Amino acid sequence: MFSKAIVRTPCKAMLEGLTEAEMGLPDYDLACEQHQGYISALKECGLQVTILPPLESYPDSCFVEDVALLTSKCAILTHPGAPSRRGEVPHIVKAVEQSYPSFEHINFPGTVEAGDIMMVGNHFYIGLSARTNAQGVEQLIDILGKYDLTGSMVEMSELLHLKTGVSYLENNNLLTFGEMHHNPIFNQFKRIEIAKQESYAANSVWINGTILVPKGFPNALNAIQQLGHPTIELPMSEFQKLDGGLSCLSLRF
């Protein structure tokens, strides 16, 4: 169960954010409106939400998940693989240290973005991607081991981040897309396969028994609702244009 979340207000410079989506520029005002809806959903799920101010020097800074991993036992500050995002890390420290008196660090040449990390209980699946390298994965697994937590590396070749293609919805249920449909590391899970045309919905988020689902993907929503959890649909169009999903917009702990 989660009790808190940290989010960061989108900045106007988000129009210059990193993206491979080819969906056009986001509408800043609509993005802010969608972000407010996201915050309301977090609160509806029972979370106390800390809202950080925009960082105009960092266009992707609203995707706050990537710069830290907050576990039940420790906080780990990452070293993003995207050079333009590395300066975001010091700006998360003040918010994190209110709940974690000390933290661990991923250090160069290791790179880790927490969009590549999926938590299942006390185990962490870590995607090897263009943003998270093998040295970063090794450092992360070593740090987790200090706190009696475990981690394993997930090979992948098609996804930007691991959680672009896989989301854990508790009770052994896993949303998958693309190459994650058949990755043997997830054979023990019940996989709910999301079709290519609704792939964005593979990044949905379980919070305290409720599942947040991006709006506009009816087949994925129906499959998720079969699990019996309440769902909240959220419009995410402006963040989708920047390759950002529901999990990317908050640190939940």
Distance, in Å, from the CA atom of 5 to the CA atom of 240, rounded to the nearest integer, reads 21
Q: Is 85 a known ligand-binding residue?
A: yes
* Residue 148 bridge partners (DSSP): none
Beta pairing class for 117-120 and 123-128: antiparallel
161 counts as catalytic = yes
Task: Determine how many CB atoms are found less than 10 A away from the CB of residue 172.
Answer: 11
Residue 131 annotated as binding site? yes
- Say if residue 18 carries a ligand binding annotation: yes
| Residue 191 in marked binding region | no
Work out the number of other CB atoms within 10 angstroms of the CB of residue 146. Answer: 10
For the chain, helix, strand, coil in percent to 5 are 35, 25, 40
CA distances from 189 to 96, 105, 174, 183, 185 (A): 32, 31, 6, 11, 9
66 labeled binding residue:
yes
Mode of pairing for the β-strands spanning 48-52 and 4-8:
parallel
Marked catalytic residue, from 45, 74, 161, 181:
161
What DSSP string runs through 131-197? Answer: SS-HHHHHHHHHHHHHTT-EEEEEE-SS-SSHHHHEEE-STTEEEEEGGGGS-GGGTTSEEEEEPGG
Contact call for residues 226 and 15 (beta carbons, < 8 A): no
Angle at 88 between CA 85 and CA 94, to 5 degrees: 160
Which residue of the set 11, 45, 62, 248 is catalytic? 248
Element (H, E) at 95: helix 93-97
* Annotated catalytic residue 62: no
As annotated, the binding site for substrate includes 18, 60, 65-66, 85, 131, 242
Binding site, annotated residues: 18, 60, 65-66, 85, 131, 242
Which sequence positions are flagged as catalytic?
161, 248
